[in-house]
Structure 1
């Protein structure tokens, strides 16, 4: 009889799958591909339409089966938050986020396991940036996880340390890193050129990711590019052009940057994203907060020179493979300006960073992540 790992894959058919949807798809695919002998993967989704079920089945062709709960996603979210339902049963359950059936159980007796994943601490550290309902849900679920989860997975040791300040999980915390999204490969030259033209990419540019929310650091980067003496290099922002009532062009103008040199692109196609990243002079990660830092990992995978802030997560993920810029309120934009100028004006430095970037990329793979997840459940 096969040992079954039951993966909560509902996020891939959520109205907005987002980064968690990408993570869910990538990890589940790797778990299926790297299942130990005698093991299989089953998916768990909320009550969904026939088309959605077919979408999931097509996404994971090696999945043993797909379990559909009796409740739709909205109702299931509320039920799992309150622990009011035993659906979808027991066994080894792995959740790629906090959305999980957390309830009292004794795995030494029943063999049941529930493992959840935490990707960032935004609901606790920056609740103003999220909806009140989501913040309340996340906090309630983490409390349930502290009582009932057999383990909690985080992507970095830095996040594990921050989590310990909020909730005591003892030795149940496991660090399992992420990797570049599937399909993040630069196409052949002709196709890459056609995609770059369609996306409106300039011949030379910097790339960054995030919104205009202050903690993302995009505003700091724009202020840096507006400093006297900084090369007038276009900036491509992977994210929305607006944040609330604030617009990217207006922020650029206020920082002294020609708005025509700044544009926002939202890439859903991994091949498009690969073209954007690989064509950049450098990828800049100026953020103030700790998350999974998957953006750095994806830039590394394409050999792009990386400039990053000195958050604990960035330092851990980069491991001296990028150009680190000391973060802080005093002079941060000036330090970013100096870093950008040095990479743009010194080809030898950019080449060295490209080499260290490619070397660092070897440390991250979904196969490794999947094997660690399988081992975690075996240890439990």
Structure 2
């Protein structure tokens, strides 16, 4: 089976969770290729070390980034497919395809359910490309059953929609983790951790307000992740909430530093207004960190009952959930142990094997 895997998101300036998905799935598919009848080729717009370091066979199509997105949004070349049996678009950057089965991963339904949390351009692009994917794909992959159900209700795709959970990226805690945290500017105070792109749907405004509650005054807030769109000014909001001196904005960090930051966290908070999966949830669980999430249905599915829940958009609810998560109670200790076991079942190896099975299903349909 010859598979062309579109790896453009891996090379993006802000890869985000979809970039993590594409990179890890590509790497584990490449590992699977040695024991399978699989001939895997990555497709990128421009040469990209993040891809060539992982996959030996790479096709460069000569145009990438926003230009490629505009071309494919209009259904224009470059066309993928000839020379492959299956083409996998791991995001909604969906290419024109001929003479091959098309598999597309749709990570969430946010452009329909929460369009106000995206740019108008982002809403337009994702809706248009998703509708094209529904019409042309031989199989759709989603990260949760919740997203699969949403797509069925919103777009009624004629092809099979299969939920394949994402995996935990192995991130061993480095032996110099305390020194790394100091180097990143994190002090000795216990801290609540947020991991993700700084954009409106992530609920950072709710988290900052919650951290202003008196019961949480002993905790700092560490924010890891790049700046997205929407002018989410965490520092100004923190100063207005009276917690500016307790907030540490780290930006994007290496996996080694991220492991060190997870290892020192009192809790992870992901109070998103909408998600498709929520990779930081299972990463934190794998590191034995208590997790607090909003009651977004996809986050609830990802957490599997092993997180403390707060109401979407409610700082008081979030504050109380954080108090509970950082209490050190026997009940919380048991929850953390269960969460670590739950995260251990979500591996990229398993996701890759299920994706390979999806390719075979799509090929049989094409």
Name stretches of at least 5 consecutive residues in structure 2 with no aligned partner. none
Q: 1:310 aligned to 2:301?
A: no
The partner residue of 1:202 within 168, 172, 187 is 187
Q: 1:143 aligned to 2:131?
A: yes
Q: How does 1:170-249 map to 2 (within 5 A)?
A: 170-181=158-169, 183-188=170-175, 191-203=176-188, 204-210=190-196, 213-239=199-225, 244=230, 247-249=233-235
**Structure-1 separation of matches of 2:139 and 2:316:** 42
- Point out the more displaced range, 69-78 or 301-310: 69-78
Change (3 A) 1:281 1:78: same
Q: How does 1:3-82 map to 2 (within 5 A)?
A: 3-35=1-33, 36-46=35-45, 48=46, 52=47, 56-60=51-55, 63=56, 65-82=57-74
User: 1:319 maps to which residue?
Assistant: 304
User: 2:352 maps to which residue?
Assistant: 370
User: Secondary structure of 2:22's match?
Assistant: helix
Say if 2:263 and 2:287, in contact at 8 Å, map to a contact too.
yes
**Structure-2 separation of matches of 1:245 and 1:53:** 29
Can you list the C-alpha shifts for 1:274-330, whole angstroms capped at 9, x where unaligned? 1111211111121121222111011111111112222111211111111222x156x
Q: 1:168 aligned to 2:160?
A: no
Q: How does 1:102-113 map to 2 (within 5 A)?
A: 102-103=96-97, 112-113=100-101
User: 2:319 maps to which residue?
Assistant: 337
TM-score, normalising length from structure 2? 0.88
Aligned residues, how many?
A: 358
**Structure-2 separation of matches of 1:290 and 1:53:** 28
User: 2:121 maps to which residue?
Assistant: 133
Change (3 A) 1:92 1:323: same
**Structure-2 separation of matches of 1:250 and 1:21:** 29
User: 1:85 maps to which residue?
Assistant: 77
Q: 1:100 aligned to 2:94?
A: yes
Structural RMSD (CA): 2.5
Change (3 A) 1:231 1:260: closer
Say if 1:209 and 1:218, in contact at 8 Å, map to a contact too.
no
Can you list the C-alpha shifts for 1:167-215, whole angstroms capped at 9, x where unaligned? 111452111111223x522112xx1122111012233111123466553
User: Secondary structure of 1:338's match?
Assistant: helix
Say if 2:191 and 2:222, in contact at 8 Å, map to a contact too.
yes
Change (3 A) 1:241 1:156: closer
- State the Cα distance separating 1:55 from its structure 2 match: 5.4
User: Secondary structure of 1:20's match?
Assistant: helix
User: 1:299 maps to which residue?
Assistant: 284
- Point out the more displaced range, 289-298 or 230-239: 230-239
**Structure-1 separation of matches of 2:205 and 2:223:** 11
Change (3 A) 1:222 1:55: closer
- State the Cα distance separating 1:6 from its structure 2 match: 1.2
Change (3 A) 1:378 1:133: same
Change (3 A) 1:29 1:212: closer
Change (3 A) 1:214 1:20: closer
Name stretches of at least 5 consecutive residues in structure 1 with no aligned partner. none
- Point out the more displaced range, 122-131 or 272-281: 122-131
- State the Cα distance separating 1:135 from its structure 2 match: 2.7
Say if 1:69 and 1:88, in contact at 8 Å, map to a contact too.
no
**Structure-2 separation of matches of 1:240 and 1:12:** 15
- State the Cα distance separating 1:19 from its structure 2 match: 2.8
**Structure-2 separation of matches of 1:336 and 1:37:** 46
- Point out the more displaced range, 120-129 or 297-306: 120-129
User: 2:257 maps to which residue?
Assistant: 272
